[in-house]
Structure 1
Amino acid sequence: MKVMKWSVIAMAVAAGTSQMALASSQSESKGFVDDSSLTILNRNLYMNRDFRDNGAGGTDARGQSYREEWGHGFIGTFESGFTQGTVGVGVDAIGLLGVKLDTGRGRQGNGIFPSVEGDDHVADDYSQAGAAIKFRVSNTVLKYGTQFVALPVFSTDDSRLLPETAVGSIISSSEIDGLELNAGRFTALSAQRESSRDSLSLNEINFIGGTYAFSDNFSTSLYYSDLKDAFEKYYGNVNYNVDLGGDQSLAFDFNIYQSEYEADYVGTTSDEDNTIWSLAGTYAFDAHKFTLAYQQSHGGVDGVGYIYGDDGNGTVWLANSIQYSDFNGEDEKSWQARYDLNMASYGVPGLSFMTRYAQGWDISTPTGEGKEREWDVEAKYVVQEGAAKDLSLRLRHAKYWSNSDYAPVYQSSDLTDVRLIVEYPLSIL
């Protein structure tokens, strides 16, 4: 498996070397100040989850069946330009502030605010700040410090009020046209609801990989990661788009993870592994998109198949990773049907709708075959012009069910998840 994957990378590099190299980004630098930007994203999030079976499959010691939280977050990001010269130097900074607007004893628990006083209360506010230094030579950038990361084997999550942050170094290179390479080492990871530098107690993760675009319509990705004393992961992706003409297109997206877990990490007497893959096909015409996806997991431990989170809660780049469930159980098979509608074609630019249904079965659990299903509905509107330009309003609703064999593994057998998200970006520089 390793030989095959590295052979494909070698082929991609060889193909890229025959093309003209990209123009140097560093040679076009306007300087530290002139290329700087400062943005503040205002995010207002209301979220509730209604567990109709006394919470967490009936095993929640508090018997909490309803969770409701509302808060406002400020996500500030400063990105300097690079100094001029052969080696450019710059600085990036992140400032995060979350403010509680409403929740209370017995209603917290959606992973938005830090818990205090033994989980009976949450903090009124929480914050975090960090910076990173960066260096650029030609089209290669080395960055060290606090940052957001979005790679298939290490990805900071941004599904709550404030995003996760990571501390470490990453080098990204685009010296060859169509080829992007990334390698990194990170030693700290902060959860979305925490202020401390390493609330998730990341030991150390190292990764390497990249993406090669053979054409505008065809690209592949290969990545490898090693989370110390936990697991190794291999990731592959193939993405292919076909223009059918007349506002019609087809898109295919294939993702696969191979994970090898250490025995001490999963609590078994021998090493375990999991392979999970998904294939999605999307047909689009005019304002409409229809998507069908199939996903399958092989292997795992006690009902859990593909494991992520210690390497970032966004590290699950699979078709059936949706609003509540990821359909990543041990030996699980799942399918999804999705429909998207863009109302711009009907005279309402900025307004869109989405609905999808997913179902999973054949999940191996200690008590029998687990099953689950989820139905999602979403509406979003983005203001197109005027003083409120780029203000977005998004309503997300999920309904989830699972049988009794899977409920103890996946927290609940019957719930609804409702989120109202309002975002407004401010460009300061």
Structure 2
Amino acid sequence: MRVMKWSMIALAVSAVGSQSAMAEPFVTSQADAPGFVEGAKAGVVLENFYFNRTRQDQKTTKRNKDSIDWTQGIRGKFSSGYTQGTVGVKVEGFGDAAYKLYGRDDEGGSLNLPRNSTNTGNDNSYGKAGADIAVRISKTELKFGDFTPNTAPVFAFGTPRQFQQTARGFQLQSSEIKGLDLDAGHFYASSSEDNTTLQGNLFSQYGVTPIRSIDYVGGKYGINENLSVSLYGAKAQDTWNQYYTNATYTLPLATDQSLTFDFNLYRTTDTGAAKAGKISNTAYSLATSYAFLKAHTVTLAFQKINGNEPFDYIGAGDKNRGTESIFLSNSIEYSDFNAPGEKSLQARYDIKMAEYGIPGLSFMVRYAHGQGIDGSHADPNGAYANAYGSNGHHFETNVEAKYVVQSGPLKDLSIRARQAWHRGNADDGEGNINDFRLITDYPINFL
């Protein structure tokens, strides 16, 4: 069985599509630079996180014990404004700290609390800090340092637990042409949500193969307010070449009704020394969302993995935690539904209660089922050998309730409850779990 995916992959794809046809540009104009001090921003997010994952099978093994803890985190962020003039410069920094409120040493693994150096217990507190510098000319920006890149579907990081994931390297973005955003990067180190060092490795998440560096280039183009396309390519040194394309189209119907079609496709092949072994994998998903009466959205999604290996993507930090570098529709709370040969279906329903007199309150429920998993033809000398059986199938159900305070001294305070159930047979490689999370976020801006 393959290494269990411990970290939750936050969805890169929303209920109504992974791309917005006319989204905000990556880079704004240097002509509007407010000044280094005048444009400064600073704030913190106070996050209280209760995590409870119980494993319904194989509890006798150390790897499959339950993960239960309760933590309080503080994520601080500072950004100067861009200096004025033809060439603008700004600096950004972050500082994160977290404290254990509850967590038995034999119930670790939530990724909200790192383990101690001997892996015998949870740390009681931890923190990390980093910074980057950016230079901007016109609507083109070059950034270097430790930050959270999140625009490239082949290399996207996020904040799946208390702390953010970060990557170290260069990112070049340009929005000189209206509707067209260009994006390129070179990264060579990273930090996961439970790492305190910023100099950890990059990995192939499922193959657990160290990657020395990754380069990518691509962009997205909003053809009009209803249609957008994107194209990216990435090279993970001596591991894979990966290509991605997306098309998102929204079809307005009657008043307060629309259909959104979101298509994603990845093509991955081994390259160089092929450290993860032979890879020839094509993964795609198609989601259709029907929004009606301002409050309701129904989504149906189909996803297929063609290849003898799983669709794999970048892992962060020395402990190899999953990132958000998977813009496939059926990558949900626990499973990615990305096993070799797998085809999966998802049905999802979202409702926003503002139309019924309770602004800020929303609910979501979804169900996904995957089958046809066959890992028996993977390269016997590669990283994915023996990770799956030949007849895997599984399903997952997610339920979420969220409330965001709309006004008053606690404005923007959010409370979110999430429950997941995952069940599968021995060949699916992911096990049977119940997963509950209660998360409270309160952003406070100082500048």
Task: Tell me the TM-score normalised to structure 1 length.
Answer: 0.89
Asked if 1:351 is matched to 2:361, the reply is yes
2:268 pairs with one of 230, 238, 259: 259
**2:27 and 2:98 mapped to 1: Cα distance?**
41
**1:159 and 1:23 mapped to 2: Cα distance?**
25
Asked if 1:332 is matched to 2:338, the reply is no
Instruction: Please give the residue correspondences for 1:168-317 in structure 2 after superposition, counting only pairs within 5 Å.
Output: 168-201=169-202, 203-262=212-271, 267-268=276-277, 271-286=278-293, 287-301=295-309, 304-309=310-315, 313-317=323-327
Q: 1:64: how far off?
A: 4.4
Aligned length: 397
Specify which structure has the higher proportion of helix.
1
String of CA shifts for 1:100-139, please: whole Å, max 9, x gaps: 1110121111222211153220111111111111111111
Residue of structure 1 equivalent to 2:40: 36
**2:214 and 2:335 mapped to 1: Cα distance?**
25
Q: 1:80: how far off?
A: 1.1
Instruction: Please give the residue correspondences for 1:82-161 in structure 2 after superposition, counting only pairs within 5 Å.
Output: 82-150=82-150, 151-161=152-162
String of CA shifts for 1:192-214, please: whole Å, max 9, x gaps: 10101123355211110000000
**1:211 and 1:221 mapped to 2: Cα distance?**
4
Residue of structure 1 equivalent to 2:382: none
Residue of structure 2 equivalent to 1:416: 434
Between the two structures, name the one with larger relative contact order (CA 8 Å, sep ≥ 6). Answer: 2
Specify which structure has the higher proportion of strand.
1
Q: 1:415: how far off?
A: 1.0
Give the direction of change, closer, same or farther, for the CA distance of 1:332–1:264 in structure 2 (3 Å limit).
farther
Q: Unmatched 5+ residue regions in structure 2? A: 1-24, 203-210, 377-388
Give the direction of change, closer, same or farther, for the CA distance of 1:266–1:418 in structure 2 (3 Å limit).
farther
Q: Unmatched 5+ residue regions in structure 1? A: 1-20
Give the direction of change, closer, same or farther, for the CA distance of 1:264–1:400 in structure 2 (3 Å limit).
farther
1:383 pairs with one of 382, 386, 405: 405
2:402 alignment partner AA = K
Give the direction of change, closer, same or farther, for the CA distance of 1:176–1:52 in structure 2 (3 Å limit).
same
Q: Is the 8 A contact 1:210 1:222 kept in 2?
A: yes
**1:51 and 1:250 mapped to 2: Cα distance?**
38
1:256 partner SS: strand
1:27 partner SS: helix
1:423 alignment partner AA = D
Q: Is the 8 A contact 1:146 1:168 kept in 2?
A: yes
Give the direction of change, closer, same or farther, for the CA distance of 1:250–1:428 in structure 2 (3 Å limit).
same
Instruction: Please give the residue correspondences for 1:50-65 in structure 2 after superposition, counting only pairs within 5 Å.
Output: 50-55=54-59, 60=61, 62=62, 64-65=64-65
Q: Is the 8 A contact 2:27 2:173 kept in 1?
A: no
Residue of structure 2 equivalent to 1:70: 70
**1:111 and 1:23 mapped to 2: Cα distance?**
32
Q: Is the 8 A contact 2:239 2:276 kept in 1?
A: no
Q: Name which of structure 1's ranges 386-395 and 64-73 shifts more when overlaid on structure 2.
A: 64-73
Residue of structure 2 equivalent to 1:373: 395
1:306 alignment partner AA = D
Q: 1:76: how far off?
A: 1.3
**2:176 and 2:433 mapped to 1: Cα distance?**
49
Q: Is the 8 A contact 1:22 1:176 kept in 2?
A: no
1:122 alignment partner AA = N
1:156 alignment partner AA = F
String of CA shifts for 1:208-245, please: whole Å, max 9, x gaps: 00000000110001011111122111011101111113
**2:311 and 2:185 mapped to 1: Cα distance?**
26
1:243 alignment partner AA = P
**2:218 and 2:26 mapped to 1: Cα distance?**
20
1:48 pairs with one of 27, 52, 75: 52
1:328 partner SS: coil
**1:120 and 1:381 mapped to 2: Cα distance?**
37
Give the direction of change, closer, same or farther, for the CA distance of 1:288–1:172 in structure 2 (3 Å limit).
same
**1:371 and 1:23 mapped to 2: Cα distance?**
43
2:356 alignment partner AA = Y
2:422 pairs with one of 392, 400, 403: 400
Q: 1:262: how far off?
A: 4.6
**1:194 and 1:66 mapped to 2: Cα distance?**
21
2:354 partner SS: helix
Structure index of larger Rg: 1
Give the direction of change, closer, same or farther, for the CA distance of 1:305–1:172 in structure 2 (3 Å limit).
closer
Q: Name which of structure 1's ranges 242-251 and 305-314 shifts more when overlaid on structure 2.
A: 305-314
Give the direction of change, closer, same or farther, for the CA distance of 1:382–1:260 in structure 2 (3 Å limit).
same
Q: 1:266: how far off?
A: 5.7
Q: Is the 8 A contact 1:22 1:177 kept in 2?
A: no
Give the direction of change, closer, same or farther, for the CA distance of 1:307–1:27 in structure 2 (3 Å limit).
closer
